[in-house]
């Protein structure tokens, strides 16, 4: 029986990977601060310790510090401790075992020109600490010969970030979005999970992971709102105004160390420009994205 160590197994993506691995017959080690949904708990503080990976045949690294804090604040140092230093500790412990390292499409250079992103797009110019620290962490993983997966906007059951943040922005039946609708890649957590459990045998390197086809932003938002029973119409803020408002919100939040502004330039960039991932490199390894946003909505509505 294969033993798979899943870091961050108590979190959103990690819990799906751990549960699916167990359902497929693997022995699972849930490595992190809290127990995962299955298997044996191996305590690990990614910001301070080298994990004990004894007995593991494969490591799937999902543990990460996430968020969109004000640049230069203490939260950025905390992210670095987990996403970069924690990666170095994990790779030290892996000691030659295959590692699948879950990164993010946030590592790609921001701005326009992302209508078809291959893995060769430059990794630079990040607008927030998350993108910077994930890019630095994946550089270590790639140098160590890991398989690095780059999903975008992961959603699904148990999502604590993407969909809750979207729903929280509805005010008096109105949701304002920056600029006109654009095409965006999203990644169902089931599609990412399948990639995590397949990728140990892939050639080392980076692979984009996303749903079978990109979505029209506004229609995707309407689908999510309907699935959650939220009645709201969409409004559109001119992009220059949205960019200025985000900059002002970040400036106002700087004096407060723990503040996370309601709107950031990273969020505007991610919502206002087409961001479409080319997943042909992963598909060439036999991976197929089988889950869509409509499947997610149908499951919610039927539940």
Cross-strand partners of 216: 183
Q: What is the pLDDT of the chain when averaged over all its residues?
A: 94
Cross-strand partners of 183: 216
3-state helix, strand, coil in the chain (%, to 5): 40, 20, 45
Domains defined along the chain, listed by start: 3-302 (3.40.50.720)
Those residues with Cβ within 8 angstroms of residue 274's Cβ, 6 or more apart along the chain or in another chain: 112, 114, 115, 182, 183, 184, 214
- Selection from 96, 89, 18, 24 nearest residue 57 by Cα: 96
pTM of the model: 0.95
What are the C-alpha distances in Å from 121 to residues 162, 242, 272, 277? 24, 26, 19, 10
Structure tokens at 9: 């197994």
Confidence band, pLDDT 50/70/90 cuts, at residue 10 = very high
Confidence band, pLDDT 50/70/90 cuts, at residue 255 = low
pLDDT in tens, 124-183: 999 899 999 999 999 999 999 999 999 999 999 999 999 999 999 999 999 999 999 999
Confidence band, pLDDT 50/70/90 cuts, at residue 112 = confident
pLDDT at 55: 96
DSSP structure class, residue 8: T
Q: Percent of the chain having pLDDT more than 70?
A: 97
- Selection from 266, 295, 296 nearest residue 68 by Cα: 266
């Amino acid at each position: 029986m294969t033993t798979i160590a899943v870091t961050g197994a108590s979190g959103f993506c990690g819990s799906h990977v751990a549960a699916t691995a167990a359902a497929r017959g693997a022995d699972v080690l849930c490595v992190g601060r809290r127990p995962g949904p299955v298997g044996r708990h191996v305590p690990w503080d990614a910001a301070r310790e080298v994990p004990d990976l004894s007995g593991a045949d494969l490591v799937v690294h999902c543990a990460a510090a996430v968020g969109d804090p004000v640049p230069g604040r203490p939260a950025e140092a905390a992210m670095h401790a987990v996403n970069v230093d924690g990666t170095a500790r994990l790779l030290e412990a892996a000691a030659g075992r295959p590692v699948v390292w879950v990164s993010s499409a946030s590592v790609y250079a921001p701005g326009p020109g992302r209508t078809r992103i291959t893995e060769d797009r430059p990794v630079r110019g990040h607008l927030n600490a998350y993108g910077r620290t994930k890019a630095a962490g994946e550089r270590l993983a790639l140098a160590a010969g890991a398989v690095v997966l780059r999903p975008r906007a992961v959603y699904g059951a148990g999502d604590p970030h993407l969909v809750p943040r979207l729903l929280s922005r509805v005010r008096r039946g109105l949701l304002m979005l920056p600029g006109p609708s654009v095409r965006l890649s999203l990644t169902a957590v089931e599609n990412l999970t399948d990639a995590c459990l397949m990728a140990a045998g892939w050639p080392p390197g980076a692979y984009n992971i996303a749903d079978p086809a990109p979505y029209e932003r506004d229609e995707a938002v309407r689908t999510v709102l309907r699935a959650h029973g939220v009645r709201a119409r969409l409004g559109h803020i001119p992009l220059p105004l949205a960019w200025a408002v985000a900059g002002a919100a970040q400036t106002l939040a700087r004096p407060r160390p723990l503040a996370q502004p309601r709107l950031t330039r990273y969020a505007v960039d991610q919502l206002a420009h087409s961001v479409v991932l080319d997943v042909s490199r992963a598909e060439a390894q036999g991976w197929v994205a089988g889950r869509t946003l409509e499947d997610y909505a149908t499951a919610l509505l039927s539940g």
